[in-house]
Structure 1
Amino acid sequence: MTALKLFGIVLFCGLFSPSQEVLSGLSCAVSPEAMQNVLSKAILQSGLLQRHLQGLVLPSILGNGGLLSAPTSITGLHLVKSQLPRLSVTLLSGIGVQLSIAAELELRGNCLVGLLSDLIDISVAVNITANIKCTNFESGTVQVVIEDCLCILGVIKINLLSGLLSLSVNEIVLNQLTSTLPGLLCPVVDIVVNLVNIHLMSTLNAMTPVGTAGTIHYQLASLPFTSGLFLGLDLDGVVQDVGGSIIPHDSSPSALPLLLDHLLVMGVRQSFLNAVVALMFQIPPQNLTCTPGAFSAASQLQEAITTIAPAECSICHGTRPLSIQLALAGNPLILLEENQATLKLSVLIRVFVKNLDGSILNLLLLKADLGLNVHVSIAGGKLVLGLSLGSTSISLESSDVGISNISMLQPHCSSLLVEQLLPLLNGALEVGIPLPNVLDIPLLKVDIQILAGLLVILV
């Protein structure tokens, strides 16, 4: 049942070893079982192989033996259908993928034995084997090359409607099919492999939107590599905002955990996540006005400020209420540690009043350094991050009215950030980070592990 070592699956065939240092955004290890599922779906279940075999026409078979030693000719022999196709995959370390397909071909034609004309049905078991390599890596793409395509025929069954069949016809058919079928089937395999390659490459090289903030362009970073246990893929993830500017990220090589009984292990590097979150956090400064008597974190902060500096804040009453501005300062930083993900973020809290002449009086400029707990999940093929407040540290940057003691403001600032800022941050993240659709392997029933510098998705 071997056969069709079809497609080093486009990607499964690299010539490099897993030890090569590739600085990319993501790395994947794909199991032989997953590759077999992918290829079976792409080649057999899709009907791709059947469609390209359908038009198969064999040359006429002529022989001198036959019933009563009469000459025999079989013409118009063509494929009616292929039955019971079976596919298996073997990884060849450092070489590529060996795909095996076994099938039973049903052929039909016209048979003339002496003066007797009849329809002939031929059933032949076929094993096609081919070694597949990936080569010519350039700009995120590779070519696939089929080597050592071998077609072996198994049991042949021949039926004539009249039932008149000599043993010599069997020998004629066997000899002719053995000499002609490999030359017909191997080119079909070559066509199918290249079509599958094009499709699977499209799952690795894709431009995907990140809400309305920008895009991520995923592409293969190097030739795939194979061991006897997995196919390794490294992908670049170019993060670009709507203006066309690229948000850089540097990554260090990271070792993926073992596949064990998983189909796919995908490692997303910390620096790549930071670039994407920086793209998603395009949040303009938020301006709040303290309404007298309103029960909100902003109003409570105003009361606290009035308590610590009543003289300085007397201007806050009457026709000139306090205003508060929240603005992100610097880039967010995700830290991945063992079993824990934290997002570090700095926020400027400006408390000010607009004077009657239009000038601004800054009562306080505070800096809040936040430690946000990150909850990670997968939904719809996207990585979704959710934030909750873990820690807050407030420091005084400046005050135009001489306020220096801010110790009692921290809980009120924390409440303000939870009430006003966290919903904005989570709203920006809820669109999710689109992940590459690696080889059409669905991200279902996933487990997530957080390692030092690496977020691991296991399927």
Structure 2
Amino acid sequence: MQWSLCLVLCGLLAGTQADPGALLRLGMDIMNHEVQTAMEESHILEKMAAEASNPQTGGKAIKGLSNMKVKDVLEPVITLNFVPGVGIFQCVSTGMTITGKSFTGGNMEINVVLNITATDRILQDEETGTPVFRSEGCEVILVNVKTNLPNNKAINKFVDSTLRKVLPGLMCPAIDAVLVYVNKKWTNLTDPMPVDRMGTVKYALTSPPATTASHIQVDFSPVVQLQEGQLIPLATNGSSPEFPEGSAKDSQLLLSDTFLTAELALLQKSLEVNLKDKRVRKLSQTTRTLAGFIPQVAKSYHKPKPLLIKVKINKPPKVTMKAGKSLMHLHGSLEMFAARRHGKHPKSLFRLETHIGLEIHYSVHENRLQMATSLDSLLSLSRESSSIGDFQETALTGFITDYLQKAYIPVVNDVLHVGLPLPDLLAIDYNLSELDVVEDALVLSLKME
């Protein structure tokens, strides 16, 4: 009975796990850059050498050696390799000179070239939910040793003992210190990021990062939330997003169409506007212009009256993607009013149900995803109500299409100008990315300077 209950509960819990709406693939180009930058910015080897040379730091005394100094630290050469299911194997090649007074009473100088190796396991921090590296199994491997001391068994034993005591305590903390710098660049990843004043987007991890032979992959289940607190769920289309074939070694960010749809839902209210005093080609926005398409208007309005057009979006915008092309679908209504004098409310002439298809053109500016649209097509137009009698709405197709392009699309693009936030991690410069629309997703190929 207990076993059956466990199976049921496990099944329910598994079913509640959100599908990833965004995928991040980190190749060796970015990881090399981040570790190398951390090593350079931290100056950790030089700091460790200075600390080892300072008798006030409380380091352990080494029998037979006094006045020890560590100097002339060589610039490290870092080699990384992915370890499937674990993280990264790191090898740091460097060298240095160790000086002091030996047990013989003379000045000692040891020139050593060495490799520091460790496995950097990537995990998910239980408290913050962000990825984090932890080093394991640090070893110091001697590559070459030269000394000014006589070459005999006792001296060689002393040199070997000295290096075994000095180097691990000096070098292995350097690996940990470098990872501290790298881990700091993950810390803002799961913070909510604003989308104008409409809401926030948070890149929450779906599961701990996974490592393959060619990359580290981080799957996100983004949390999209309105300013009032309401969560906007990501729609499920029956399949999880996947990177295009043939790009396994590249660093890439994939944003699914369902994720972009959820983000645009934050802006739905901003897309509802009242339009007036606009001209389409040389046609002014008056009842006289409208009468050219609907003769009944001329019977009701002998003198031209200004028109007011109210655009309402009835459903959240929806993003669809096919290879090379992305559309934003706006389902809503377009209601036409005639202005009246003496402060009276405008009179509704008719209301049309519309389905507008806007082609989306993507770019990145200041590390935010930018969208600009152009009218692709007026996919449907149907009359919902009319105070001027029956008319064929198809007669308005050309006028409405031109009007949307002239008056409404600029409004949409102004709203979209706020940009959508991208994952904040590892100081990645998304402005350098190459963007590609694939089936059901937008892929950003990440580049390094």
TM-score (norm 1): 0.81
What is the CA–CA distance in structure 2 between the aligned matches of 1:297 and 1:221, rounded to whole Å?
54
Q: How does 1:346-425 map to 2 (within 5 A)?
A: 346-353=331-338, 358=344, 361-392=347-378, 393-425=380-412
1:255-286: CA deviations, max 9, x gaps?
21246486412111111000112223432643
What is the CA–CA distance in structure 2 between the aligned matches of 1:102 and 1:365, rounded to whole Å?
73
Q: How does 1:22-61 map to 2 (within 5 A)?
A: 23-57=19-53, 59-61=60-62
Contact 1:364–1:403 at 8 Å: present in 2 too? no
Out of 88, 99, 106, the position equivalent to 1:97 is 88
Q: Which has the higher strand share?
A: 1
What is the CA–CA distance in structure 1 between the aligned matches of 2:277 and 2:432, rounded to whole Å?
47
What is the CA–CA distance in structure 1 between the aligned matches of 2:435 and 2:121, rounded to whole Å?
32
Contact 2:358–2:376 at 8 Å: present in 1 too? yes
What is the CA–CA distance in structure 2 between the aligned matches of 1:41 and 1:357, rounded to whole Å?
66
My pick for the range that moved more, 407-416 or 51-60, is: 51-60
1:32-65: CA deviations, max 9, x gaps?
2332222111223542454345312564444xxx
Q: Which amino acid aligns with 2:309?
A: I
The answer to whether residue 449 in structure 2 is matched with residue 449 in structure 1 is no
Q: Which amino acid aligns with 1:146?
A: S
The answer to whether residue 140 in structure 2 is matched with residue 151 in structure 1 is yes
Out of 304, 311, 333, the position equivalent to 1:326 is 311
Q: Which amino acid aligns with 2:422?
A: L
Out of 279, 285, 289, the position equivalent to 2:266 is 279
The answer to whether residue 327 in structure 2 is matched with residue 342 in structure 1 is yes
What is the DSSP-based 3-state SS (H/G/I as helix, E as strand, rest coil) of the residue aligned with 2:36? helix
Per the TM alignment, residue 224 of structure 1 is displaced from its structure 2 partner at its CA by 0.8
1:385-425: CA deviations, max 9, x gaps?
11111111321111023132222211111111111110011
What is the DSSP-based 3-state SS (H/G/I as helix, E as strand, rest coil) of the residue aligned with 2:351? strand
What is the CA–CA distance in structure 2 between the aligned matches of 1:317 and 1:107, rounded to whole Å?
100
What is the CA–CA distance in structure 2 between the aligned matches of 1:91 and 1:197, rounded to whole Å?
16
**Aligned match of 1:12:** none
What is the DSSP-based 3-state SS (H/G/I as helix, E as strand, rest coil) of the residue aligned with 2:413? helix
1:193-222: CA deviations, max 9, x gaps?
2x1353132253333222333322123321
Change (3 A) 1:111 1:27: same
How many residues are aligned here? Answer: 419
**Aligned match of 2:69:** 78
What is the DSSP-based 3-state SS (H/G/I as helix, E as strand, rest coil) of the residue aligned with 1:305? helix
What is the CA–CA distance in structure 1 between the aligned matches of 2:327 and 2:339, rounded to whole Å?
37
What is the CA–CA distance in structure 1 between the aligned matches of 2:315 and 2:274, rounded to whole Å?
19
Contact 1:36–1:89 at 8 Å: present in 2 too? yes
1:170-200: CA deviations, max 9, x gaps?
541222212442244324433432x135313
**Quick one: higher RCO (CA 8 Å, sep 6+), 1 or 2?**
1
What is the DSSP-based 3-state SS (H/G/I as helix, E as strand, rest coil) of the residue aligned with 1:324? strand
Q: How does 1:50-449 map to 2 (within 5 A)?
A: 50-57=46-53, 59-62=60-63, 73-111=64-102, 113-114=104-105, 118=107, 120-135=108-123, 137-138=125-126, 140-159=129-148, 167=152, 168-193=154-179, 195-202=180-187, 204-251=189-236, 252-258=239-245, 260=247, 263-283=250-270, 285-289=272-276, 299=284, 302-316=287-301, 318=303, 321-353=306-338, 358=344, 361-392=347-378, 393-443=380-430, 445-449=432-436
What is the CA–CA distance in structure 2 between the aligned matches of 1:362 and 1:190, rounded to whole Å?
70
What is the DSSP-based 3-state SS (H/G/I as helix, E as strand, rest coil) of the residue aligned with 1:425? helix
Contact 1:325–1:349 at 8 Å: present in 2 too? yes
Unaligned runs of 5+ in 1: 1-20, 63-72
My pick for the range that moved more, 364-373 or 77-86, is: 77-86
Q: Which amino acid aligns with 1:256?
A: F
What is the CA–CA distance in structure 2 between the aligned matches of 1:42 and 1:158, rounded to whole Å?
32
Change (3 A) 1:136 1:233: closer
What is the CA–CA distance in structure 1 between the aligned matches of 2:426 and 2:201, rounded to whole Å?
18
Change (3 A) 1:54 1:316: farther
1:54-109: CA deviations, max 9, x gaps?
312564444xxxxxxxxxx4213133352120111111112221111111123333
Contact 2:280–2:406 at 8 Å: present in 1 too? no
My pick for the range that moved more, 33-42 or 201-210, is: 201-210
TM-score (norm 2): 0.82
Change (3 A) 1:424 1:45: same
Q: Which amino acid aligns with 1:343?
A: M
Contact 2:93–2:113 at 8 Å: present in 1 too? yes
Change (3 A) 1:454 1:323: closer
1:285-344: CA deviations, max 9, x gaps?
4334469xx776773573343245545554545595433222223111110112221111
Change (3 A) 1:199 1:358: same
Change (3 A) 1:414 1:76: same
**Aligned match of 2:9:** none
1:352-382: CA deviations, max 9, x gaps?
2355684653211112211111112233322
Per the TM alignment, residue 143 of structure 1 is displaced from its structure 2 partner at its CA by 4.8
What is the CA–CA distance in structure 1 between the aligned matches of 2:268 and 2:254, rounded to whole Å?
23
What is the CA–CA distance in structure 1 between the aligned matches of 2:32 and 2:357, rounded to whole Å?
44
Per the TM alignment, residue 230 of structure 1 is displaced from its structure 2 partner at its CA by 1.5
Per the TM alignment, residue 158 of structure 1 is displaced from its structure 2 partner at its CA by 3.1
Change (3 A) 1:455 1:77: same
1:8-41: CA deviations, max 9, x gaps?
xxxxxxxxxxxxx961221122222332222111
What is the CA–CA distance in structure 2 between the aligned matches of 1:259 and 1:55, rounded to whole Å?
48
